[in-house]
Chains A and B, each alone.
Chain A
Amino acid sequence: MKKSNLLMIVGSFLLLGLFIFPLWNITLEAPQYPIPLGMDIHITKFADTHEHDIKNINLMNHYVGMKYIPETIPEFKIFPIVIAIMSIFGMLIGFKGTYKWFLGWFVLMSVMGIAGMYDFYLWEYDYGHNLDPKAIMKFTNPDGSIMGFQPPLFGSKDILNFTAHSYPMTGAYFMFVGMMMTFAAFLIGKKEANRLTF
């Protein structure tokens, strides 16, 4: 088997890591939480970093009128199907396909990844801005608009007494490394093809 095919197979196989490891993590730090509150986002569920964290995040957030983090969201049905199909498809073209297929797979996966991030951003925006009109405490921005509590998409941000951190987790690294391997598969595959023509 050619090097490029092997890379393509392994690269798309690594996507399956998302079924085991969390994709993303949001952690909230505050002085009275010496052990910060945290939520791990998997492709199938929201999970506590330490047991009961989500319950306690909800309890904190209800003071400013934020909705409870839902038990589940539709994405948790879609994401696993998409990932599973893409992974199998990637491995199949790894066996049979050529470097052009590899590039096609990579582009498709990148588009879907960006779409997934955008979707997550929309959920986060709604979570941070769609506040209960009967909220116990209402905060406004300096310009008079109602303050939102959206955690950052990536990075760290101070929100009232909390510092929110939002960073990728092991699952995301699996996906990132996997996708880089498929891109490398395309580059190497192209080189291999050129060599053959000469």
Chain B
Amino acid sequence: MKIILKSIFLFVITATFLTSCAPSDKKNNKGAISGNAAEKVYVAPGELDSHYAFISGGFSGQLSVYGLPSGRLFRVIPVFSQDAEKGYGYSEETKPMLNTSHGFVPWGDSHHPDISQTNGSVDGRWVFINENNTPRIARISLETFETEEIIEIPNSAGNHSSSFVTENSEYVVAGTRFSVPFPQRDMPISEMKGNFSGALSFLKIDQETGHMNIDFQIKMPGFSYDLSHPGRGKSHGWFFFSTYNTEEANTLMEVNASQNDKDFIAAINWKKIEEYVANGGGKMQPANYAHNTWNDDTHTATSVMKKQVLVVEPKDVPGAIYFLPTAKSPHGCDVDPTGEYIIGNGKLAASMTVHSFSKMIKAIDDKAFDGDAYGIPILKFDAINYGMLNQPGLGPLHTEFDTRGNAYTTFFISSEVVKWNVEDLKVLDRHPVYYSVGHLMIPGGNSRTPDDKYLVAMNKITKDRYLPTGPEVTQSAQLFDISGEKLDLLLDFPTIGEPHYAAGIAAEKIMPKSKKIYRLDENKHAYGVQSEAETRVVRKGKEVHIYMTMIRSHFSPDNIEGVKVGDKVFFHVTNLEQDYDVPHGISMIGANTSELLVMPGRTATFTWEPKEVGVWPFYCTDFCSALHQEMQGYVRVSPRNSKAPISYTLDGDIPGEEEE
């Protein structure tokens, strides 16, 4: 009996030991997380992250704000999509932001955030982000974290190779991923070849206001302009755009656009073209596109339709545009911090192309051409190529850099990040990611001064990495420490929409100027008021305008009568608070719109069209104070034929008529 018990005991012990030693898939998936990873990402309660990460919301159309290294989400900035939570795209003031030449578009596909720069370093003034579907670029203030401007890009489709800025924020660019007739016209799709174009747009940025204006559009051949990056340092003045579908196929693109062994990186000498147009070059052509701007004084957006755009034909500016042959369908087109190396992430190639800027300039001087495409000279591959990184992985998409001469490239198919030395063209390290990584971001990545501390990989697929939530599971970001020799995986964190790309910056460049309140005495809103004494209700035919205020913890007025069925009621609500972090919200039963969330010192407007008689309540939606539950009021709605005059009170008095 004893022996049997003993052997069973031994068996159990052995089995447990073997099982625990056996490499399970789960364990492998955690990668080689070093012992102190938790310590490196732990931001203790009350402490602050060291970096901001502005992570694109992809098909959510928004831009999210995360802290690094904690991976905590702070805010989702509404940009291209309506956001009922914040009233964005619903309030009367913000609706014009989403106006386009196609009318009001409630959704967008945001892609590549990029932070403004001064002298080749991110400066934290603005972040730009492009919209792919209805081609647009937005500018977001990093003082208010609000979208201040959206400009539509005419003659373009699939604005993907955007919205990257030059090293002094001279320009932000837009491109065309789906070449189209330029200008649009009714023609057979099959006649695409030679008849479509791909506009590359250069938007000048006003250094004071940040306002964008399309300085010129280059009418390029009808390839797909996929990604782009500016030259910097020695290559400042140039911009590089990767292309695919140089085959100009218009159907079954996955096959037909993947036939050429080499596609191009288009090198654009924008300084030369800037000079050309400054001297009267280019042709003004009719166009129709929306330019929406947010006025911070009136906190109201206006949408203006612009009717023309300056178009530049490549043949008219000889010496400004060249094609650099690059291995098969390059996706990312990345420039290292010195500006010397231009990297084509040939997503369908076995090797990555590294071009040399100095060789390119020499090749241009030597006229080392290999024919031309639609009149644009093709430079000889051998004359410009620095070298190839052979077989680094499968499906290279994007590369970012540190200041020590290393590059970090994502591989979509082999799901990994590879660290390699640019000059030596040698792979130094690789680390799996989970799974199918697209972009990666190193804070300050698109600049001369990246921060050598963190790398964020953004993954399209997560499968088993998080608790399941039905068929649709979160996409995610993975944080690496890159300060050492090895890539050190620290953290997974979920993201909103698709974390398409991101821009990062040290917290101290933004934190001190982040706005706390809007000054009430600077409120220039057409329907804003300065005090409760100015609150009132005014009837204008069938329109009723309520000039209302909110302050802890009541509305003024909070009893309104004389509204009738069929009226259109405008609630113009001013938040009188001048204290940090005291927004108030307001919502009305039966209003066919969203709530408003009004920041201290601001005014916002929603409309309500009462359909039934009765007494209808409204209330504060943002838990503002101890008496938040009491922050409410009533509107009495009378029949259409009622003679009841407008009346309004707070605590039995007409606001302003009785002073305390």
Give A residues with C-beta under 8 Å from B: 35, 51-52, 55-56, 59, 63, 136-137
A136 and B627 form a contact (CB under 8 A): yes
Please, which residues of chain B bring their CB within 8 A of the CB of A52?
517, 578-579
A-B contact pairs, 15 of them (CB 8 A): A35-B580, A51-B578, A52-B517, A52-B578, A55-B578, A55-B579, A56-B578, A56-B579, A59-B552, A59-B577, A59-B579, A63-B626, A63-B627, A136-B627, A137-B626
Q: How far is the CB of A161 from chain B (nearest CB, A)?
A: 10
Please, which residues of chain A bring their CB within 8 A of the CB of B551?
59
Residue of B nearest to A37 (CB): B579
Assembly CA distance A55 to B627 (angstroms): 18
Residue of A nearest to B46 (CB): A34
Q: How far is the CB of A163 from chain B (nearest CB, A)?
A: 19
Residue of A nearest to B630 (CB): A136
Please, which residues of chain A bring their CB within 8 A of the CB of B552?
59
Categorize the interface residue count of chain B. under 10
Please, which residues of chain A bring their CB within 8 A of the CB of B578?
51-52, 55-56
Please, which residues of chain B bring their CB within 8 A of the CB of A51?
578
Assembly CA distance A6 to B567 (angstroms): 79
Assembly CA distance A52 to B578 (angstroms): 6
Q: Main SS of the interface on chain B?
A: loop
Q: When each residue 616-628 of chain B gets 1 if its CB lies under 8 Å from chain A and 0 otherwise, what string results?
A: 0000000000110
Assembly CA distance A51 to B580 (angstroms): 11
Residue of B nearest to A63 (CB): B626
Q: When each residue 567-581 of chain B gets 1 if its CB lies under 8 Å from chain A and 0 otherwise, what string results?
A: 000000000011110
Assembly CA distance A137 to B517 (angstroms): 28
Assembly CA distance A56 to B580 (angstroms): 10
Please, which residues of chain A bring their CB within 8 A of the CB of B626?
63, 137
Interface positions of B from 537 to 591, Cβ below 8 Å from A: 551-552, 577-580
Given contacts A52-B579, A136-B627, 14 further A-B contacts (CB under 8 A): A35-B580, A51-B578, A52-B517, A52-B578, A55-B578, A56-B578, A56-B579, A59-B551, A59-B552, A59-B577, A59-B579, A63-B626, A63-B627, A137-B626
Residue of A nearest to B601 (CB): A52
Residue of B nearest to A56 (CB): B579
Residue of A nearest to B520 (CB): A52
Please, which residues of chain B bring their CB within 8 A of the CB of A136?
627
Number of CB contacts from chain A to chain B under 8 A: 17
Assembly CA distance A56 to B552 (angstroms): 10
Residue of B nearest to A136 (CB): B627
Interface centre among B551, B552, B579, B626 (most CB of A within 10 A): B579
Q: How far is the CB of A39 from chain B (nearest CB, A)?
A: 15
Q: How far is the CB of B549 from chain A (nearest CB, A)?
A: 13
Assembly CA distance A142 to B579 (angstroms): 34
Please, which residues of chain A bring their CB within 8 A of the CB of B580?
35
Assembly CA distance A125 to B656 (angstroms): 30
Please, which residues of chain B bring their CB within 8 A of the CB of A137?
626
Please, which residues of chain A bring their CB within 8 A of the CB of B579?
52, 55-56, 59
Q: How far is the CB of A64 from chain B (nearest CB, A)?
A: 11
Residue of A nearest to B660 (CB): A68
Assembly CA distance A137 to B553 (angstroms): 13
Please, which residues of chain A bring their CB within 8 A of the CB of B517?
52
Q: How far is the CB of B233 from chain A (nearest CB, A)?
A: 42
Q: How far is the CB of B422 from chain A (nearest CB, A)?
A: 46
Q: How far is the CB of A57 from chain B (nearest CB, A)?
A: 10
Assembly CA distance A35 to B517 (angstroms): 14
For the complex of A and B, the 9 pairs showing the least CB-CB separation, nearest first, are A52-B578, A56-B579, A59-B552, A55-B578, A136-B627, A52-B579, A63-B626, A59-B551, A56-B578
Residue of A nearest to B581 (CB): A32
Assembly CA distance A137 to B625 (angstroms): 13
Residue of A nearest to B517 (CB): A52
Assembly CA distance A59 to B626 (angstroms): 12
Assembly CA distance A59 to B577 (angstroms): 9
Q: How far is the CB of B512 from chain A (nearest CB, A)?
A: 14
Q: How far is the CB of B370 from chain A (nearest CB, A)?
A: 65
Assembly CA distance A137 to B579 (angstroms): 22
Please, which residues of chain B bring their CB within 8 A of the CB of A55?
578-579
Q: How far is the CB of A159 from chain B (nearest CB, A)?
A: 16
Q: How far is the CB of A149 from chain B (nearest CB, A)?
A: 16
Assembly CA distance A56 to B517 (angstroms): 13
Residue of A nearest to B651 (CB): A134
Residue of B nearest to A59 (CB): B552
Interface centre among A51, A52, A56, A136 (most CB of B within 10 A): A52
Assembly CA distance A59 to B553 (angstroms): 9
Residue of A nearest to B626 (CB): A63
Assembly CA distance A136 to B627 (angstroms): 9
Assembly CA distance A56 to B626 (angstroms): 15
Residue of B nearest to A68 (CB): B660
Q: How far is the CB of B632 from chain A (nearest CB, A)?
A: 15
Q: How far is the CB of A127 from chain B (nearest CB, A)?
A: 16
Assembly CA distance A51 to B551 (angstroms): 17
Q: How far is the CB of B24 from chain A (nearest CB, A)?
A: 46
Q: How far is the CB of B159 from chain A (nearest CB, A)?
A: 42
Assembly CA distance A36 to B144 (angstroms): 23
Q: How far is the CB of B53 from chain A (nearest CB, A)?
A: 24
Interface positions of B from 606 to 640, Cβ below 8 Å from A: 626-627
Residue of A nearest to B552 (CB): A59
Assembly CA distance A160 to B552 (angstroms): 19
Assembly CA distance A35 to B580 (angstroms): 10
Assembly CA distance A11 to B208 (angstroms): 52
Assembly CA distance A128 to B577 (angstroms): 24
Assembly CA distance A55 to B577 (angstroms): 9
Assembly CA distance A12 to B579 (angstroms): 41
Assembly CA distance A63 to B580 (angstroms): 19
Q: When each residue 82-117 of chain B gets 1 if its CB lies under 8 Å from chain A and 0 otherwise, what string results?
A: 000000000000000000000000000000000000
Interface positions of B from 21 to 68, Cβ below 8 Å from A: none
Q: When each residue 435-455 of chain B gets 1 if its CB lies under 8 Å from chain A and 0 otherwise, what string results?
A: 000000000000000000000
Residue of A nearest to B578 (CB): A52
Q: How far is the CB of B88 from chain A (nearest CB, A)?
A: 26
Q: How far is the CB of B51 from chain A (nearest CB, A)?
A: 22
Assembly CA distance A97 to B441 (angstroms): 79
Q: How far is the CB of A171 from chain B (nearest CB, A)?
A: 26
Assembly CA distance A56 to B627 (angstroms): 16
Assembly CA distance A136 to B628 (angstroms): 13
Q: When each residue 353-388 of chain B gets 1 if its CB lies under 8 Å from chain A and 0 otherwise, what string results?
A: 000000000000000000000000000000000000
